[in-house]
Structure formats: structure tokens, C-alpha cells
């Protein structure tokens, strides 16, 4: 595990706590930047419920700011993309000359954002196909085994990304190293665009609700195919069979509430721009009426106050 060096985790929602927690449980030197969870995690540690068993991490290295953490070798970024602008203040204290930045964020434009500001040679990316909910401070519920794809940004995978993959693989994560992070990102978007979008736009529904309703399922398929058209035009030769696979495998997720739905219901910002907005902008000139409509509706829906807000 020495190969990872000092690791920082920025953005300690479900994704950050889960992967950071697994690295720490595997023996890595992991430092968590926390906000609302800080006191709870300092006191009670980190709990990961997964596959019927409960993993406990005590004595978590938890901090309220990155100055206290100091320079690291690797920074896991799992912040909501709606908070990306905060990275300009958060990241600098963590950066040494060779610090690598691994973004596990949803949607499009995150690697580009990091590359523009801190140099593309630092940037790695990961795509999480995983059902995770942060159910309480320092408490993560891992609902579905899921998988993680890791890669370097704009170049073949290097030794660090392989070391991260090995460390998480040793903890039981189904992890793979991919040649093209861009294509992988689009493969994930093909799912997030219809399912995260419809989970809100169809009135607060689960994945199972979408699949059980013939017309919602058909709409999910059409949205997925519109998104695939954009990916193909961008040079990612994702075949139609992949859309079919995506839809098929979703059946196993059951009444899963997407992260976007949970964010919306809790009154948190929803990543509308990095998922649907960027896709629509990259799809200009293509016939993507449903995706455009979904983007328009989501922008409006998430900007209106909900009548009542469930409790975090």
C-alpha cells in the first residue's frame, strides 16, 4: 500500500467516505476533509454497511480544512460538481509538485476543470457504478456491489492509477483500469442521463418504477440512445448493445433512488449542468429532443422550492 503515499479525500459524501474508507481500512494513509460530518467521524469513526456486513474504521484522520492536512501524493475528489468552484480554495494546500488528482465526480467536464487549473499531467479520473447512500454522518450504506473504472486523463493508464486499483481491488471492490476515461465517462452517462433525470422529472421515482412502467422504460431507452448518439459523434464507439446491457442490468438495482433524486429531496444542489447541461451542449446539431427537454425540465424543477423537504 506504500505506493499510494499520503492520500487526501475531498468531498466526503457517500462516494468519498466509501472509497476513502476502504483505502484506509486496507492500510493506506488517508486524510479526510469533512464538513458537517467532522465531529461525528472524529468521535464515532466511519461505518460502511456492505453486503450484509458492517465495516468500522476507528481513529479516522479527519480535518476541517486542507491546511491541516498539508501536501499529499494523491487527492481523491468526490465533491459535488456543483461545488467545483470551492476547489480553488480547497486544493492548493494539498498540492506538492507531484500530487495527483483523482476525480470520482459525476458528469462531464471535471477532468477538464482540474487540468485547466492544476495541469493535465496531474489528473486521473474514476467512474463509480455503485449504489451508495450516506445515511447519517460518517455512515455509508453500500446497496449494490457495483464497480469502479479508473484511468488517466488523456493518456494511457500509469502506475499510480494501477496502484489505486490494486489497493481497492484488495478490499473487494470490482475495479478496472480503462484505456479511455472519456469513453468510460460516456458509458456511465448513458445510465445517469435517463435514470437520474427521470428519477426527478417523473415525480420522484426509483429505478424499479422507471423499469416497471412501459412508457417510462421506453423513454429511458430513447434518452439513452440520444446520449449514445452524442458519445459516438465525440469518437466513443459505444455500440447499441451497450445501451441494451445498461437497461438490462438496471433491473437488479430494484427500488434504487438515484443520487440526484436524493439530492433533490434533501434540498441539496443537483448536478444538472455537469450531467444534462454539458451533454446537451456537446450534442448541438444532433437530434436530441428528449434530452433537451429533460435538461429544460430539470433546470426548472430543481430551481423551485419543494413544498416540503425530507430530513437529511
Beta bridge partners, 100, equal 74
Cβ closer to its own copies: 158 or 277?
Answer: 277
Cβ closer to its own copies: 53 or 308?
Answer: 308
The sign of the torsion formed by the CA atoms of 71, 128, 109, 263 equals negative
CB 192 → its own copies: shortest distance, Å? 18
Q: Give residue for cell 469533512.
A: 34
Asked if residues 28 and 57 have their Cβ atoms less than 8 Å apart, the reply is: no
Q: According to the binding rule CB under 8 A, does residue 212 interact with its own copies?
A: no
Task: Name the nearest CA neighbour of 106 among 299, 249, 262, 272.
Answer: 272
The answer to whether residue 188 is catalytic is yes
| Integer Cα distance of 279 and 295 in angstroms | 9
Q: According to the binding rule CB under 8 A, does residue 12 interact with its own copies?
A: no
Instruction: Please name the helix (run of DSSP H) or strand (run of DSSP E) that holds residue 87, with its range, or none.
Output: helix 87-90
The catalytic position among 42, 80, 120, 188 is 188
Task: Name the nearest CA neighbour of 285 among 230, 221, 236.
Answer: 230
Asked if residues 22 and 166 have their Cβ atoms less than 8 Å apart, the reply is: no
Among 52, 59, 97, 203, which residue interacts with its own copies (rule: CB under 8 A)? 203
Q: Which stretch binds its own copies (CB under 8 A): 95-103, 121-129, 135-143, 290-298?
A: 290-298
| Integer Cα distance of 62 and 167 in angstroms | 21
Cβ closer to its own copies: 158 or 229?
Answer: 229
Q: According to the binding rule CB under 8 A, does residue 289 interact with its own copies?
A: yes
CB 227 → its own copies: shortest distance, Å? 14
Number of residues that bind its own copies (CB under 8 A): 32
- Work out whether strand 53-57 and strand 72-77 pair parallel, antiparallel, or are unpaired: unpaired
CB 262 → its own copies: shortest distance, Å? 14
Q: According to the binding rule CB under 8 A, does residue 302 interact with its own copies?
A: yes
Among 209, 263, 271, 278, which residue interacts with its own copies (rule: CB under 8 A)? 209
Q: According to the binding rule CB under 8 A, does residue 300 interact with its own copies?
A: yes
Q: According to the binding rule CB under 8 A, does residue 202 interact with its own copies?
A: yes
Q: Which stretch binds its own copies (CB under 8 A): 34-42, 98-106, 242-250, 291-299?
A: 291-299
Q: According to the binding rule CB under 8 A, does residue 301 interact with its own copies?
A: yes
Q: According to the binding rule CB under 8 A, does residue 225 interact with its own copies?
A: no
| Integer Cα distance of 270 and 106 in angstroms | 11
Catalytic residues: 188
Footprint of its own copies on this chain (CB under 8 A)? 198, 201-205, 209, 213, 215-216, 218-219, 222, 289-290, 292-297, 299-304, 306-310
Amino acid at each position: 500500500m506504500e505506493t499510494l503515499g499520503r492520500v487526501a479525500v475531498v468531498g466526503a459524501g457517500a462516494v468519498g467516505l466509501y472509497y476513502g474508507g476502504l483505502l484506509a481500512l486496507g492500510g493506506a494513509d488517508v486524510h479526510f476533509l469533512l464538513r458537517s460530518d467532522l465531529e461525528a467521524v472524529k468521535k464515532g469513526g466511519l461505518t460502511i454497511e456492505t453486503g450484509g456486513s458492517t465495516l468500522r474504521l476507528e481513529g479516522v484522520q479527519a480535518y476541517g480544512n486542507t491546511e491541516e492536512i498539508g501536501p499529499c501524493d494523491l487527492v481523491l475528489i468526490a465533491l459535488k460538481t456543483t461545488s467545483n468552484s470551492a476547489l480553488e480554495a480547497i486544493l492548493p494546500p494539498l498540492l506538492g509538485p507531484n500530487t495527483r488528482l483523482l476525480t470520482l465526480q459525476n458528469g462531464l467536464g471535471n477532468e477538464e476543470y482540474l487540468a485547466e487549473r492544476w495541469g493535465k499531467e496531474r489528473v486521473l479520473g474514476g467512474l463509480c457504478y455503485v449504489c451508495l447512500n450516506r445515511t447519517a454522518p460518517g455512515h455509508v450504506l453500500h446497496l449494490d456491489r457495483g464497480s469502479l473504472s479508473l484511468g488517466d486523463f488523456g493518456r494511457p493508464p500509469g502506475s499510480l492509477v494501477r496502484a489505486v486499483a490494486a489497493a481497492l481491488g484488495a478490499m473487494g471492490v470490482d475495479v478496472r483500469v480503462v484505456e479511455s476515461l472519456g469513453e468510460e465517462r460516456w458509458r456511465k452517462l448513458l445510465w445517469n442521463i435517463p435514470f437520474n433525470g427521470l428519477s426527478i422529472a417523473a415525480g420522484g421515482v426509483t429505478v424499479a418504477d422507471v423499469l416497471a412502467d412501459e412508457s417510462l422504460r421506453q423513454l429511458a431507452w430513447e434518452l439513452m440512445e440520444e446520449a449514445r448518439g452524442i458519445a459516438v459523434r465525440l469518437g466513443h464507439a459505444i455500440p447499441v448493445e451497450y445501451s441494451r446491457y445498461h437497461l438490462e442490468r438496471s433491473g437488479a438495482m430494484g427500488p434504487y433512488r438515484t443520487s440526484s433524486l436524493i439530492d433533490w429531496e434533501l434540498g441539496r444542489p443537483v448536478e444538472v449542468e455537469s450531467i444534462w447541461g454539458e451533454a446537451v451542449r456537446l450534442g448541438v446539431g444532433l437530434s436530441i429532443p428528449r434530452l433537451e427537454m429533460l435538461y429544460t425540465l430539470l433546470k426548472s424543477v430543481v430551481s423551485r422550492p419543494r413544498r416540503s423537504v425530507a430530513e437529511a
